[in-house]
């Protein structure tokens, strides 16, 4: 069963960013599958590493465009990225200390990603396209 399914309503109409969002969905679905199969603890360390690496790649692309085109809401958007990275590091520490609930992690990831894409990311979509990002 797929927890997060990509729909056209989630698209920011920028292929590279949509593809990156889909990859993030894949990480979350992988965690959900592992949780259902009672294997979540087996994959957590690698999942955290993958999420850390990939969010830096994804956020880096968005932030490069913010700076290149002087996006008006870039500081607020970057602050959301920074908070996500901080929270992810905090949860990774909790995992290492064996004090983290995997379902809490999954809930956080789903909630954050869905709200971020539907809200904050959709706000830059038209602006980026007007500047030639497709």
SS (HEC) of 94-123: HHHCCCCCHHHHHHHHHHHHHHHHHHHHHH
Are the beta carbons of 12 and 121 closer than 8 angstroms?
yes
Q: Distance from CA of residue 70 to its chain's centroid?
A: 22
pTM (predicted TM-score):
0.91
Looking at residue 1, its pLDDT comes to 66
What are the tokens at 31?
Answer: 């965690």
Q: Mean pLDDT, to the nearest integer, of 105-128?
A: 95
Homologous superfamily of 13-130 in CATH?
Answer: Hemerythrin-like (1.20.120.50)
CB neighbourhood size of 110 (10 A): 17
Looking at residue 106, its pLDDT comes to 92
Looking at residue 44, its pLDDT comes to 87
Q: Is the pLDDT of residue 78 over 70?
A: yes
Question: Where do the structural domains in the chain lie, given as residue ranges?
Answer: 13-130
CB-based contacts of 66-72 (< 8 A; 24+ apart in sequence)? 66/124, 68/131, 69/127, 69/128, 69/131, 71/124, 71/127, 72/127
Half-sphere exposure of 118 (CA within 13 A, CB side): 9
Q: Mean pLDDT, to the nearest integer, of 1-24?
A: 93
First to last CA, the chain: 31
Q: What pLDDT digit, counting tens, does each position of 18-43 carry?
A: 999 999 999 999 999 998 898 888 88
Q: Mean pLDDT, to the nearest integer, of 68-75?
A: 97
> How high is the mean pLDDT of the chain?
93
- The burial class, CB within 10 Å (0-12 / 13-18 / 19+), for 28 is buried
């Amino acid at each position: 069963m797929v927890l997060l399914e990509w729909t056209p309503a989630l698209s920011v109409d920028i292929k590279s960013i949509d593809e990156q969002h889909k990859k993030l969905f894949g990480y979350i679905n992988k965690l959900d599958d592992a949780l259902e199969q009672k294997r979540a603890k087996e994959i957590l360390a690698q999942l955290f590493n993958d999420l850390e690496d990939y969010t830096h790649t994804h956020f880096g692309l968005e932030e490069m465009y913010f700076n290149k085109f002087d996006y008006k809401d870039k500081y607020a958007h970057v602050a959301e990225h920074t908070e996500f990275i901080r929270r992810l590091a905090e949860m990774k520490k909790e995992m290492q200390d064996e004090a983290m609930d995997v379902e809490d992690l999954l809930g956080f990831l789903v909630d954050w990603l869905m709200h971020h894409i539907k809200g904050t990311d959709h706000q830059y979509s038209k602006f980026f396209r007007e500047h030639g990002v497709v």
